[in-house]
Structure 1
Amino acid sequence: MNFDYSKKSIALQEKLKAFIAEHLLPVEHEVDAYNLDPKNVWTKWPGLENLKAKAKAEGLWNLFLPTSYGDYSAGLTNLEYAPLAELMGRILWASEVFNCSPPDTGNMEVLAKYGTPEQQKKWLQPLLDGNIRSAFLMTEPDVASSDATNIETAIVADEDAYVINGKKWWSSGAMDPECKIAIVMGKTDIDAPRHVQQSMILVPMDTPGLTIVRHLPVFGYSDSPEGHAEILLDNVRVPKSNILVGEGKGFEIAQGRLGPGRIHHCMRLIGMAQRSLELMSERTVARKPFGRTLDTYSSIRQDIAKSVCEIQQARLLTLSAADKMDKQGNKEAKDLIAMIKIVAPNMALKVIDRAMQIMGGKGVSDDTPLAHFYAAARTLRLADGPDEVHMSQLGKNTIKKYTKG
């Protein structure tokens, strides 16, 4: 395995670092304060569009899309994009500046791979241009959605349309004022074999019958302006042309969508952990309890050392998964993808927790990004499948590998 980055990736890393240092870090506290202020909930920080325009002009746009599409795609491999996702992960809202935010990234990949020319023109191009946002509606409150075959939302054919009924929640991005389209997963045939009952369909957010029931905060954070929502679908009617690929293809699309998305999540987590390590390291030489700076205490040095090891272990494992996806495809990389989804969020939580402890009271305040990092990392032990699901499948595959015959 050779994880040396390509010249293209290295050049983009340097360009991205410089852009973040010049344009994002100076306004980080201003943006965070704006997003945390209840008066501004579900509105955009006024300078965001200007930052996006600058990023687009500099070619730092749609970096996630693994194959070239349109004028704005960098056409990077997963391995080439991974360190860029890590850099963006250092600031929670940075990804949107470069049009690399979830769930838009996954939705754009789905539309690029599976959408018809008409669907791509209507929804993919505005997403690629950064003019709209999107949501992905799969998880449901009334069933164990960690098993996606359990979902109960009904997608029923009716002449030239489909009628959708169901309830979704943790629909990330749905609260965003620019969210215009949702990809909804539901069942078109409950009598079909288990993994071909599901379909995915495009539902504009202004379709009659689609109602945002409530906002779902995470550890008290609204995550404005994107947020997470519970959504009711009550006799929502959309044209048959809105189906993605065809009936029964939903599970197949979902599996293809989640592979790259897990790489992105894990690299952003590594970015959070890396920045946490840097913040706690800086703190150790700035604080002097009991006549000695913190960096002279053995326990502090051990916390720093363990964090360095764990971050690098997770980084290399994630790069290995990205490399295998590029070379052999998502299916062959499934065990590595499961490993990183188990390892990265738990690693980030440990490192962020150490950073908060070393920072003291400041570490749990809004004066640093650590508390919000912690909330995000803890959520990612559940998003895209909880730890237990990945461990169960990885354990099953490992046992099978070593007990063949």
Structure 2
Amino acid sequence: MNNKNLLHAQIYFLRLIGLSPYERNGRNYQLSQAKLGFSIIFNILLAVMTLTRVSSIGTKKTDNIYDTLKLAWVSARWSMTLAIRWAFLFHAVDIVKFLNILSSIKETCLNINRKTYTLIALLLTVVVHQNYRYYIFHRKETNQNLDGISEQWLGSSFLGRLSVCIISNLFLWPYLTLPLFLYTLMIQATSLLHQALEKLNETSDAKDLSAIMKKVRNYVLKVKRSIELIHKSFMEITLLILAYVQLELVMIVLYAMYDSSSLYAEESFFVLLPTFLELWLFLNCQSGYIYACEDGIHRVKKLIAEVGLKGSEHVQEVWHLRGIQAELERMPRFTIFGLFELGRHCLLSMGSIVLTYVIIAIQFTTSNNPVTCKPFNFTDGSTSA
């Protein structure tokens, strides 16, 4: 399986969950009005379900501050997933544009490396575990609340319960699949950039150096335009998920103080696993791309020196090479609304923010101030009088 096939498979899966309202027509993609209408209706229904669920959670009252935080955690997760769904759907036109740009460049399909296979396997493990959790939950619910016809169709049927679990989980899958989709797109764009720069090696034997260099510059410009569209399409999604990841880390740390059982340790692992996977996908999505740009600049500078030594009759070729160098130096970096550049250095600031929130939350939950909350008894999970 190569990277291009993986990209097409992800597009088909996004269409299954109502996030890919475009279809392939030959080599190009185009926006389908029928699929767009289906996606809008599908996401409107999910929005209604989300608002109903969040409002029902908001009506629940509890004296335990940790139970209140857990309800808020669930509401935040559903709200965040709904927001990234609409943000991704809003950029459907931009996604069609950069898919067509990537398809317009003839390239050699690269096979998927072991790292990508590992990421896919881990994500599938998380999805299977989530479906298992939903299955256990719905089995308990149906055994307690269903009778008669409902129990006949759902309560006593393994496939019925499993279908409910999968349908319920379809809503949350974009939270896992969109980071992988971004990572795959960046790998595809980076491989195209590598292959475009490899054509510069043909200049030593080619008769028409200017034609080859002009072709390489056009390829670099296409990759640059596709990268700009990719960043534009995923900017809001990245910001939402990174903000939610910090909230999730805070909640996991707080609940580790409250529940030290082995069951919670297992649940925490399967919450942390996708969280760290998403962080890795986001923060490393452009590392290979940046390396390709820097390597290309170094290669072009070396080639400029070699061509310049051949004499003044190669001035035009040097001019083309300097143009390629300028485009590589201007290749866009993934920034969040121009505030900060996405990269591994973000981990330090995210860690400091999470630590600050944890300290504030611990002080809040253990404060004796009656305005905030009563001190928490960790032994029996109840609040002291």
TM-score normalized by structure 1? 0.30
Bigger Rg, which one: 2
The structure with more strand, counted as a fraction of residues: 1
Flag the structure with higher helix content: 2
Larger relative contact order (Cα-Cα within 8 Å, sequence gap ≥ 6): 2
TM-score normalised to structure 2 length: 0.31
